[in-house]
Structure 1
């Protein structure tokens, strides 16, 4: 894995030198834009509309438009100075309960591995977080972007999840058509809770698949082999007028045996493995 950042995690006077690695990777299928007539890739150029010439990266700066058509500019060195030395430190200011953080705040997760000189301090922080069941809250600057961060342990490894600041979360009151004091019948609520109970299980990310990616891989395979692409017919969407009927029908559909579910899960994993091999 490629190191994307080096710095240190600190809390109090304790300093833990670490390297940062992405904990996730993009699983999308890459598609390029082609000229339809010749099936060749389209090229992009950085062109100045004023002089109509291509601009090299060394002549490009970042700018903020403070009013229409007027900019203040910053070069790379200025932005690095603004980031300051704190950009190399993940300074934990508070420790909180994981359950207190709403998932809406999370952005991207990174693994943190210790530098050679920081193994003992790294292990100490991991053990302390595990035994207290706490999450460290810090500010971090990566590539000139500042964000809130949650420092926690995942499977014995220190991790950092970047988070949005409170001011970046949109006010829910901006949403249209939110129900106000809507009454729910007790029988409907009991049925809904029963349905939730029937669908409740332990979270296993491996049992979920990207259905669109699977269909796209099938279509790519068909096109490569010169076969006609087979598209599933659109599912007919029926409007449900009676909520109780919908709840009862949903519970009835869940009466499949555990062996059926296990067979479906095994088939899904086998199919996913086949697609990965084919890709």
Structure 2
């Protein structure tokens, strides 16, 4: 792999020279748009309708539209003069518990590798984070953009996930449909817990595959080979109206798929203590 960025991690007066690598890659099946008439790829041009000519990359500038049709022009030197815009640093601000960070803040993932003889100080930081069980919240400047990030140990290396700022995360309370009110019975909650227990397993990433992409690639291979492709038959799912019936059916389906006996419920012995705790909380609240 080729690094996409070089810089340094700084915490206190310690600097760790690092290289940045992409930790993930999209494997979406890519298509080109073709002209239906001649089957040739369509070209996308940088075209100025005012000058009626194509524009090269060297002639492009970045403009912020502050009013309709009016722009403020910013050039590279303007971005470099901004705080953090000129640096190639990952500045650690705090060490926190990983569980305190809501995953909704995560954006893109990267690996950080030691660079320029920084193996020892890199290993020192990695070991300190492993033994403390902490992750680092940092500020990073990449390509004239300063963003938040979290550093943690993953797969034997330091990884970095860029993050959204709090004002970039939308409030779920702004969704009208979330202002609902329903009543749940203890039996319904208990059945839902049984369903969760029936579907509980250890997280094994390799068992989750992109079935849609696999089917799409198979379809493309069949078309290339000139074979006819049969359309799969999709059975219509029966509509279950009653909530309790839906929960029961879901539990039975989960048990059958996982080869469990129909009468067994994982964690069944834990249900009564949970129920007793709920009763205790209601008594403490004066509900009787």
Q: Give me the TM-score of the superposition, normalised by structure 2.
A: 0.85
Shift of 1:78: 2.7
Distance 1:200 1:177 in 2: 29
Whether the 8 Å CA contact 2:34–2:41 is kept in 1: the answer is yes
Once the two structures are superposed, residues 100-138 of structure 1 have per-residue CA deviations (whole angstroms, 9 ceiling, x without a partner) of: 000100001100000132111100110000011101001
Once the two structures are superposed, residues 144-172 of structure 1 have per-residue CA deviations (whole angstroms, 9 ceiling, x without a partner) of: 22211001100220011000000001111
Once the two structures are superposed, residues 169-195 of structure 1 have per-residue CA deviations (whole angstroms, 9 ceiling, x without a partner) of: 111111122154422111111111111
Question: Secondary structure in 1 aligned to 2:47?
Answer: coil
Matching of residue 246 in structure 1 with residue 249 in structure 2: no
2:13 maps to what in 1? 13
Taking only aligned residues, the RMSD between alpha carbons, in angstroms, comes to 1.8
1:96 maps to what in 2? 96
Question: Secondary structure in 2 aligned to 1:112?
Answer: strand
Task: Give the direction of change, closer, same or farther, for the CA distance of 1:70–1:29 in structure 2 (3 Å limit).
Answer: same
Question: Secondary structure in 2 aligned to 1:10?
Answer: strand
1:167 maps to what in 2? 167
Task: Give the direction of change, closer, same or farther, for the CA distance of 1:86–1:12 in structure 2 (3 Å limit).
Answer: farther
Question: Secondary structure in 1 aligned to 2:177?
Answer: coil
2:126 maps to what in 1? 126
Matches within 5 A, 1:60-79: 60-79=60-79
For these two proteins, the number of residue pairs brought into alignment is 260
Whether the 8 Å CA contact 2:80–2:86 is kept in 1: the answer is no
Unpaired stretches in structure 2, ≥5 consecutive residues: 261-288
Unpaired stretches in structure 1, ≥5 consecutive residues: 261-279
Whether the 8 Å CA contact 1:6–1:88 is kept in 2: the answer is yes
Question: Secondary structure in 2 aligned to 1:230?
Answer: coil
Matches within 5 A, 1:27-176: 27-82=27-82, 84=84, 87-176=87-176
2:218 maps to what in 1? 218
Distance 1:99 1:254 in 2: 29
Shift of 1:259: 6.9
Q: Give me the TM-score of the superposition, normalised by structure 1.
A: 0.88
Distance 1:252 1:21 in 2: 45
Whether the 8 Å CA contact 2:85–2:141 is kept in 1: the answer is no
Shift of 1:218: 1.5
Whether the 8 Å CA contact 2:8–2:89 is kept in 1: the answer is yes
Shift of 1:233: 4.2
Whether the 8 Å CA contact 1:148–1:163 is kept in 2: the answer is yes
Distance 1:150 1:102 in 2: 12
Shift of 1:74: 1.5
Whether the 8 Å CA contact 1:83–1:144 is kept in 2: the answer is no
Shift of 1:250: 1.0
